[in-house]
Amino acid sequence: MKKLVIFISFLTLSTAQAKEKKKNKEKTRHHISIFHKKKKKVVSLPAAYLAPDVDTISISASDSNNINHMLSVLESELGKPYRRGAIGPDRFDCSGLIKYGFSHIGWILPRRATDIGQLGQTITTASCSPGDLLFFSGRRRSKKKISHVGCVYKVEDGKIFMIHSSDQGVNITDITNSRYYQERLIYAKRLFEADSTSATIPAELPCN
């Protein structure tokens, strides 16, 4: 009789364990199914968030009126404070300011300076004109990785004046006489196809 009770108890325990294993297996299968469904899900970003094609942006706006307008927008932001990650209208980081200015002529630039640096045509600083972009490395000048961008505001008497957002906020800097920027300059880029030397830039503005 005692053996029979032990056998029945063992049988009951085995049945319960089998049911529990089956339940866990079903639960695992359910989780795997959900995982696969999530993995297959594709999210499409709105076109406004996608970086424009290099060729398209190089030829989409080619007259000096666009340069004048874009520079006047940047000029209107002089004195605004710097904040990392800010794209305006009250604060800007370096790439945020450039993106903001170009957006006023219908151009949607990438958010980061490194991505903006992949656009347009590389030019020498000797051929820089208003509207061209200048790209710089960070505090460690030995690392040739883009971490700052500014826009050529005017070229006067062989000097290049750049409008940009730095620790001093949005300002105009003479990079020709700045050892800091000269040592960190990586390259200059031209996004406008037209000859921008015809752009009329006001001269009576404070420069750092």
Q: What's the pLDDT tens digit per position in 125-134?
A: 999 999 999 9
- Do 92 and 14 lie in a common domain? no
Does a structural domain hold residue 207? no
Does a structural domain hold residue 203? no
- Do 94 and 107 lie in a common domain? yes
In what order do the strands lie in the sheet containing 121-123? 121-123, 185-190, 133-136, 148-156, 159-166, 169-174
Residue 133's pLDDT is: 98
152: helix, coil or strand?
A: strand
73-82, 101-110, 134-143: segment of lowest average pLDDT: 134-143
Cα 194 from Cα 115, distance rounded (Å) = 22
Residue 145's pLDDT is: 92
Q: What domain count does the chain have?
A: 2
- Do 56 and 144 lie in a common domain? yes
Does a structural domain hold residue 51? yes
Give the residue-averaged pLDDT of 29-37.
Answer: 38
Which residues are CB-neighbours of 158 under 8 A, at least 6 positions away? 176
Does a structural domain hold residue 116? yes
- Do 24 and 56 lie in a common domain? no
- Do 66 and 164 lie in a common domain? yes
Residue 29's pLDDT is: 46
Give the residue-averaged pLDDT of 3-30.
Answer: 51
CB 175 within 8 A of CB 184: no
Give the residue-averaged pLDDT of 184-201.
Answer: 68
Cα 3 from Cα 141, distance rounded (Å) = 85
Residue 140's pLDDT is: 76
Higher pLDDT: 30 or 42? It is: 30
15-24, 66-75, 89-98: segment of lowest average pLDDT: 15-24
In the chain, % of residues over pLDDT 70: 62
- The parent domain of residue 170 ranges over 47-198
Residue 77's pLDDT is: 98
DSSP 8-state secondary structure symbol assigned to residue 80: P
Residue the block writes with tokens 């190089």 = 58
Which residues are CB-neighbours of 66 under 8 A, at least 6 positions away? 105, 192
Residue 43's pLDDT is: 33
The yes-or-no verdict on residue 52 having pLDDT over 50 is no
Cα 69 from Cα 179, distance rounded (Å) = 30
Does a structural domain hold residue 169? yes
Q: Report the interhelical angle of 64-76 vs 94-103 (nearest 10°).
A: 130
| pLDDT tens digits along 179-191 | 999 999 999 999 9
User: Residue 190 is part of a domain; what is its CATH number?
Assistant: 3.90.1720.10
